[in-house]
Amino acid sequence: MLDTAKTRWHPIAASSDLPFRHVFHAQLLGREFAVWRADDGYVNAWENRCLHRGVRLSIGINDGRELKCQYHGWRYSNRTAGCTYIPAHPADAPARTITNRTYPAVERYGLVWSAEEPVDEVPAVSGLAEGDLLVLRGIPLNAPADLVADRLKDYRFQPSGRLDGAEADVTVEAAGAFSAALCSRDGDAATLAVFFVQPVDSGRSVIRGVLDSRLEGAERLAVLRHHNELLSKLRDTLERDAAQMPAPAPIEPVIERVSPELAEMPEATPHGRKAAIRVQVARKWAAADGIAGFELRPIKGLLPTFQPGAHIDVHMPNGLIRQYSIVNGPGESDSFGIGVKLERDSAGGSSCMHETVREGDVLAISEPRNNFPLRRDAVKTIFVAGGIGITPLIAMAQALKNQDLAFDLHYFAQNEAQLAFPERTGTLGMALKPHLGLSPEQTGAKLREILSGYRPDTHLYLCGPGPMLEAARTIAAELGWPETAVHFEYFKNTKVIDDSSSFEVALARSCMTLTVPAGRTILDVVREAGVDMPSSCEQGACGTCLATVIEGEPDHQDVYLNDAEKRSGTKIMTCVSRAKSARLVLDL
Amino acid sequence: MITLYDYELSGNCYKLRLLMSMLGIEWKTVPVDFYPGREHKSDWFLKLNPLGQLPVIDDDGFVLRDAQAILVYLASRYDPAGTWYPREDPKLLGEIGQWLAFADGITGTASAARLHDGLFYDFDVEAARAGAHRLFRILDEHLWFGEQEGRDWICAANHPTIADIACFPYIMLSEEGGIPRQDYPAIRRWCDRLKRIKGFIVMSGVFPAGPARAA
């Protein structure tokens, strides 16, 4: 009887089955996997079905950083398998629940190993040394794995140095339910061959053999052919025998729905911003004059999926919370990179990051949030960055670059030494257009030049200091850019908030009516009443605490919504905005 | 100008479109209603090809039938570099001929299974599938050892030949005849390589591969 334990490690591929930009189609105990190596070397083993419409991901496109489904073009990130882009919803950031099921994948002995629910590590095999091996051609066959493993004990072969002989003495060194280690000796030549039998399904297997010594050139080929010939003969006999036996029912793997962790709403806590993830500062460096770069690695497990334009909250040792954009390119999912500019009038945030936080320190961060999503359906995209405003736009530009989509990145800074992350912007080629040392008037003239000649299906993404953003938005409007094509993110809201009004908020879904007195925010009052609301910057810049207005007239005081959105009166940033009417009805 | 008598869902017609696209030559198509109209058995078509089979080309009055033969003709006449069908290399020509015959075997098995499943042809589908698996095993082994020897293509050359084009379509379409390619990893990798040749085009059921290098 075939042992179908999900805890046992099995090989599912050879390392050489995962060449550059390929997706391998694997199967173990009935369950299919799409296995692919990203350009950074990480091996992904995913359930072989797009969670959208069930199409096999093994026919998808490996672009080196993401896997794109052939059916509707949904893109999934290296490592996390989280969705980063849905072409049918180009303006939206995909929800974090859109994550394909992943399985462990470990490379050992020239093979890729996996298991549904492994315990411990991939077992060590005595006699095999990493790096000094010869992996034989895998032999798929239509016979049950237990039968195959049993027959492999009678496999006879010549040691590698003595292929022309026929007198080798073969002994079984070890044998298990899915493996056999055989040693062939002929004179002074000896070769250890370890065979692993991959149970593909109840009646299908792959024989994966590994020899104990590395060979080169013609000798290597001769040994590979020697075993291929013998194993093919063994396959033919085994298939004949298996065909005489009653065919076992195929194993039917359970396709699980979204994992419980993802399916549940995050735990409601009435006290504001959450710092769910612990990261270590793996590297801190000068990303530019006055800008510190930080590489944040997870203490355990994987970081959540991020999309270009996303930011995280960083909780600092001094108790302050600040937002920083992730600068990573697509699929670069082993750490988060951020850039922190030392502000002259720092209230303690940037100075803490610059002066106190060191390499090796542990920080708490929030999950990435994306309130500045990037469309990937524009004919051309124009990025305009001012100073440290480069950070979200670097991530965006790298994503478009990877998909070979047209863009320009205009980067305004005082001088060359202030251009941050040169190792990233350097990969963008001619699309990077630095503009150095311009006065506000010269900047305005340059923006006018960049934004002249608006064409449909061009999109503009702005990030930089407030005055520059105001100027760019005004110029864009004058030059005929529709508001829907102009996307922006402010660092902070410099407006003076008028919180003198007092009004009522009715929460339509929670069936509560609350009073917001002068001096308090909607966000505070709603949370105090036990209704969970996400928030991040809490000054009307980042877009996290957005709520939908059903009735009443909002008094907008944020810098997140654009003018058309503000005029429509259907959205409100609950951390700073209030009501002009006596009552607001919110969809909360 | 080349006229291709074409059926959109035919792998044998597709292989001609594919080569012509890779060679960068122009052609026009005359659609033939293979299914359900059986136009390839109509009087007008039988005059072009008494065998009643697609594809057929007409190159300024020169009429030629048989997909493999047409590949030979197109590559000989329209490939200035002479790599797709290297007329000066007897061994390579012999190899190409060997694999063109193999491609006919794929048509007789994998394509037959697809016609059974998709267009309700009365074939012994189990025999067709078993025959295709037998051929795929041989090709996978050949390609796997090719990779070990530093050879990317079916024939012993550092560039693709019409043998690759001849074998490709009905391998890529095999799943439409109930023949999975899961057990043929070297064939799957070779398909990716072929899809990355400049000028590659798709047909229904044949998907593109990702970019070979970062853009």
Q: Do A233 and A360 share a domain, yes or no?
A: no
Average pLDDT over residues B44-59: 96
pLDDT computed for residue A573 by the predictor: 95
Binned at pLDDT 50, 70 and 90, residue A5 comes out as confident
Please answer whether residues A82 and A106 qualify as being in contact, where contact means their C-beta atoms are separated by less than 8 angstroms.
Answer: no
Q: In sequence order, which residues have a C-beta less than 8 Å from that of residue B73 and are 6 or more positions away?
A: B57, B59, B64
pLDDT (0 to 100) of residue A267: 56
Whole-angstrom CA distances from A334 to A91, A262, A338, B169 are 26, 20, 13, 39
Angle value at C-alpha B169, between B166 and B175, nearest 5 degrees: 140
Instruction: Give me the residue from A17, A221, A403 closest to B185, CB to CB.
Output: A17
Any domain includes A515: yes
Give A118-155 pLDDT, tens digit per residue: 988 998 998 998 888 999 999 999 999 999 999 999 99
Give the pLDDT confidence of B169-202 residue by residue, as tens digits.
999 999 999 999 999 999 999 999 999 999 999 9
Find which of A137, A204, A219, A398 to mutate to test the B interface (most B CBs within 10 Å of its CB): A137
Nearest to A29 by CA among A49, A47, A55, A3: A3
Match 């050489």 to its residue by tokens: A16
Nearest one of A509, A537, A167, B151 to A523, comparing CA atoms: A537
Inter-chain residue contact B210 with A27, CB threshold 8 Å: no
Could you read off the pLDDT of A495-507 as tens digits, one per residue?
A: 899 999 999 999 9
Q: For tokens 């315990």, what's the residue? A: A119
**Euclidean distance between CA atoms B108 and B129, whole angstroms:** 10
For residue A268, is pLDDT > 80? Answer: no
| Contact residues for B15 (Cβ-Cβ < 8 A; gap 6+) | B67, B71, B165, B166, B168, B169
| A231 and A322, same domain (yes or no) | no
Q: Which residue has the tokens 């012993």?
A: B156
Q: Band of the pLDDT at A60, cuts 50, 70, 90?
A: very high
What's the pLDDT at A266? 56
CB contact under 8 A, B144 and A19: no
For residue A354, the model assigns a pLDDT of: 96
- Cβ B188–A22 below 8 Å, yes or no? yes
**In a shared domain, residues A426 and A476:** yes
Give percent of chain A with pLDDT exceeding 90.
Answer: 85
* Shared-domain flag, residues A50 and A198: yes
CATH at residue A229 = 2.102.10.10
CATH assignment at residue A562: 3.10.20.30
Residue A267 lies in a domain: no
Which pLDDT does position A265 carry in this prediction?
A: 57
Is residue A394 located within the same domain as residue A525?
no
Alpha-carbon distance values, B181 to A19, A113, A336, A408, B171 (Å): 17, 21, 38, 42, 8
CA distance B93 to chain A (A): 25
Q: To the nearest whole angstrom, how far is the Cα of A536 from the nearest Cα of chain B? A: 35
Gap between the Cα atoms of A90 and A197, Å rounded: 45
Indicate whether A444 and A523 sit together in one domain. Answer: no
Considering only CB atoms, which chain A residues are within 8 Å of B185? 13, 17, 24-25, 138
Across A538-550, average pLDDT: 91
Q: Looking at residue A166, what DSSP letter applies? A: -
From chain B, the residues in CB contact with A140 under 8 A are 182-183
Confidence of residue A254 (pLDDT cuts 50, 70, 90): confident
Map tokens 């550059």 to a residue: A20
Cα dist. A147→A14, A137, A153, A179 in Å?
22, 20, 11, 11
| Domains identified in chain A, total number | 4
Sorting pLDDT into bands at 50, 70 and 90, what band is B214? Answer: very low
Q: Measured between CB atoms, which of A21, A225, A401 is closest to B212?
A: A21
| Closest residue on chain A to B149 (Cα) | A221
Same-domain check for residues A352 and A390 = no
Closest by Cβ to A62, choosing from B147, B181, B210: B210
Are the beta carbons of B210 and A61 separated by less than 8 Å? yes
If you count DSSP H runs as helices and E runs as strands, how many of each does chain A have, helices first? 10, 35
Determine the residue of chain A that is closest to B196 in CA distance: A21
Say yes or no: A62 and A118 in one domain: yes
Say if residues A532 and A269 touch (Cβ distance below 8 Å). Answer: yes
Global confidence as pTM: 0.90
- Residue A253 falls inside a structural domain: no
In a domain, A250, yes or no: no
> Of A523, A535, A288, which is closest to residue A420 (Cα–Cα)?
A288
Residue B12: its pLDDT value, please? 98
- Residue ranges, comma separated, of all CATH 1.20.1050.10 domains in chain B are 90-195
Considering chain B, tell me which residue range(s) the CATH 3.40.30.10 domain(s) occupy: 2-78
Do A432 and A575 fall into the same domain? no
| Contact status of B204 with chain A (Cβ, < 8 Å) | no
Q: Quick one: average pLDDT of A537-553?
A: 92
Cα A542 to Cα A492: distance, rounded to the nearest angstrom? 8
* Predicted pLDDT at B201: 97
Mean pLDDT for B120-148 is 97
Three-class DSSP labels, A370-435: CCCCCCCCCCEEEEEEEHHHHHHHHHHHHHHHHCCCCEEEEEEECCHHHCCCHHHHHHHHHHEEEE
Tens digits of per-residue pLDDT, B2-40?
999 999 999 999 999 999 999 999 999 999 999 999 999
Mutate to test the interface with A, among B143, B148, B182 (most CBs of A within 10 A): B182
Mean pLDDT of A408-421: 97
The pLDDT of residue A536: 84
What is the span of the domain harbouring residue A579?
A: 503-586
Domain assignment present for residue A522? The answer is: yes
Whether A401 and B215 lie within 8 Å, measured CB to CB:
yes
Residues of chain A found within 8 Å of residue B145, distances taken between Cβ atoms? 137, 221, 224-225, 228
pLDDT of A35: 98
Task: Mark whether A484 and A515 lie in a shared domain.
Answer: no
User: CA–CA separation, A3 vs A489, rounded Å?
Assistant: 56
Does B130 reach chain A within 8 Å, measured CB to CB?
A: no
Tell me the C-alpha distance between A580 and B191, whole Å: 64
The pLDDT of residue A264 is 65
Does A422 or A345 have the greater pLDDT score?
Answer: A422
Give the pLDDT of residue A299. 93
Chain A residues with beta carbon closer than 8 angstroms to that of B188: 22, 24-25
Task: Please give the pLDDT value at position A237.
Answer: 98
Task: Say if the Cβ atoms of B182 and A27 lie within 8 Å.
Answer: yes
Query: Which amino acid is residue B3, in one-letter code?
Result: T
In a domain, A467, yes or no: yes
To the nearest whole Å, the CA of A381 is away from the closest chain B CA by: 17
Q: What is the CATH number of domain B2-78?
A: 3.40.30.10
pLDDT tens-digit profile of A70-115? 999 999 999 999 999 999 999 999 988 899 999 999 999 999 999 9
Dig out the tokens for B122 from the structure.
């009365």
How many angstroms away from the CA of A91 is the closest CA of chain B? 24
pLDDT higher than 80, residue A246: yes
- Please provide the average confidence, as pLDDT, over all residues in chain A: 93
CATH number at residue A430: 3.40.50.80
Q: What's the whole-number mean pLDDT along residues A462-474?
A: 95
Residues A41 and A93 in one domain: yes
Closest CA to A227 of A260, A194, A251: A194
What's the confidence (pLDDT) of residue A272? 61
Of A437, A461, A490, which one is at a domain's C-terminal end? Answer: A490
Q: Which residue has the tokens 């005004």?
A: A474
Architecture of the structural domain at B90-195: Up-down Bundle (1.20)
A131 located within any domain: yes
Helices (H), chain B: 11-23, 43-48, 67-78, 90-106, 112-119, 125-148, 162-172, 185-195
| A354-412: pLDDT as tens digits | 999 999 999 999 999 999 999 999 999 999 999 999 999 999 999 999 999 999 999 99
Are A528 and A486 part of one and the same domain?
no
Quick one: pLDDT band at residue A1, thresholds 50, 70, 90?
confident
